[in-house]
Structure 1
Amino acid sequence: MKPTLLAIDTSTENCSVALQVDNTVISREMESPREHSQRLLPFVQAVLEEADIKLSDVDGLIVGIGPGSFTGVRIGVSIAQGLAFGASLKVNGVSSLDAMALEGSQNRVTDWIISAIDARMGEVYWRVYQHRDGHLQACATAKVDKPEQLNLAAELERHGYQASESIGYVGTGWETYREQLAATVAVTPQSLNCVLPTAEAMLRWAQLYNEPAVAADELEPLYVRNEVTWKKLPGR
């Protein structure tokens, strides 16, 4: 039997929860950037009730640790810590950039993926991945930069990119700065149809890539930078 796992994420505009019980995954999600604190726990309760289990029946907890909205990351991490303390659970932290790269790779396979989140203040959080032997390999740590100062072509070549290989992209960073980011890549990147991270993708990442579980009081958010801001995206 697979472990029963609960994943939660509020690191971006998307508030999402996913519960894995055996081979079934039950999820709830909604884009509600200013209502995460009101929606997250009811979502958790809803998936537990649908599975007819209690939090005490869960074997492990997974949470999105960012980067993303400072407030959203803080809400997710603090609620995860509260749930973990209450049920004596360890916690796996998963990056929002990693979750989107995995989701995108399952929508369409490309040799490389560039995951980017709109970080506000004219910047993006980003990370590059290589798709090798059916697995994603992150090429460096998550960074934050102004799109016009990035040279993604040089970054890809530094990690072994070949001209014949395909490149995919995920995340809100590409929605906001598509022209600036695409201009720094040697070939036209393909959309992998993933804009926001989900708890379900984080649940898959934690199991596929064996993210280490930590005690609740050791859980660290991934802010990437110290300055923070939040602004609702146009149309969201």
Structure 2
Amino acid sequence: MKLLALDTSSEGCSAALLINGSLTERFALAPRGHTRLLMPMIRELLAEQGLAPAELDALAFARGPGSFTGLRIATGVVQGLAWGLEVPVVPVSSLAAVALSAMETLNVAEGDGLAIAFDARMGEVYWGCFQASEGLPRLLVPEQVCAPASVSLPSVITGSWYGAGQGWQLQDQMPQALVATMSRLDDTLVPRASHVARLASHELAAGGGVSAAEAQPVYVRDEVTWKKLPGR
């Protein structure tokens, strides 16, 4: 299996290539550099492995939630490649990608809970709750966008809870009883293509994947309030 995965859903920009279990990645923190960096990353990864795009078996991308502009960049690149190559695409939750990263960096045990938060701007966070299950994060309730003061945890977890994602930098606005529940926190983690690739490989093995036309971003927030600048 030769899988190319992309992520531009946050200030991080990354591409990863998973070939028969071997993973290579390019990653950079570049809030306004996604368009400039992504294609060179893809070309470098393919050249490093001596692969032509036509040899890829599947594509994956972080489908959100996250930066609206960033999500459109990765979606556009993946759709363009998938149309030409006629390969399946696996859209992967950006929150799940960070949950998988947190499972490794925070030493999360089987059955423990992961509360993932991204800063959604406009006084809100993207919020997702997962359970560590057989080495993967399993979504417990639908992902949502809400005020930090409105976040909550499902009651199904009997083990420990761990928090991750840059939305936890707003923890002073969250219910303090919920914050106190967390065994450990990492408010620096952002989605990475390497974790997108690993989640996508499991999805493909289970028969997942969609066509280029069906590879769409998931914004979670249905409405966006635009504030016009004076004179605009």
What TM bracket, shorter-length normalisation?
0.7 to 0.9
> Which one is further off, 178-187 or 78-87?
178-187
Amino acid of the residue matched to residue 217 of structure 1?
Answer: A
Query: Share of identical aligned residues, percent?
Result: 36
Q: How far apart are the structure 2 equivalents of 1:229 and 1:79?
A: 27
> Which residue of structure 2 aligns with residue 101 of structure 1?
99
Amino acid of the residue matched to residue 179 of structure 1?
Answer: D
Aligned partner (choices 63, 68, 71) of residue 70 of structure 1: 68
The 5-angstrom pairing of residues 116-131 of structure 1 reads 116-131=117-132
Go from structure 1 to structure 2 and tell me whether the alpha carbon gap of 1:46 and 1:133 turns closer, same or farther (over 3 Å shift).
closer
Contact 1:182/1:189 (<8 A) preserved: no
The 5-angstrom pairing of residues 1-236 of structure 1 reads 3-107=1-105, 108-110=107-109, 111-150=112-151, 152=152, 155-157=153-155, 160-162=156-158, 165-175=159-169, 177-181=170-174, 183-185=176-178, 187-192=181-186, 195-209=189-203, 210=206, 212-228=208-224
Deviations along 1:43-65, one digit per CA (max 9) or x if unpaired, are: 10010011111111111000111
Gaps of 5+ in 1: 231-236
Q: How far apart are the structure 1 equivalents of 2:149 and 2:135?
A: 32
The aligned length equals: 220
How far did 1:115 drift?
Answer: 0.8
SS at match of 2:13: strand
> Which residue of structure 1 aligns with residue 230 of structure 2?
none
Go from structure 1 to structure 2 and tell me whether the alpha carbon gap of 1:225 and 1:41 turns closer, same or farther (over 3 Å shift).
same
Contact 1:18/1:200 (<8 A) preserved: yes
SS at match of 2:174: helix
Q: How far apart are the structure 1 equivalents of 2:28 and 2:215?
A: 25
Task: Let me know the Cα RMSD of the aligned residues.
Answer: 2.0
Q: Which runs of 4+ in 1 moved over 3 A?
A: 132-135, 227-230
Q: How far apart are the structure 2 equivalents of 1:24 and 1:229?
A: 43
Amino acid of the residue matched to residue 76 of structure 1?
Answer: A
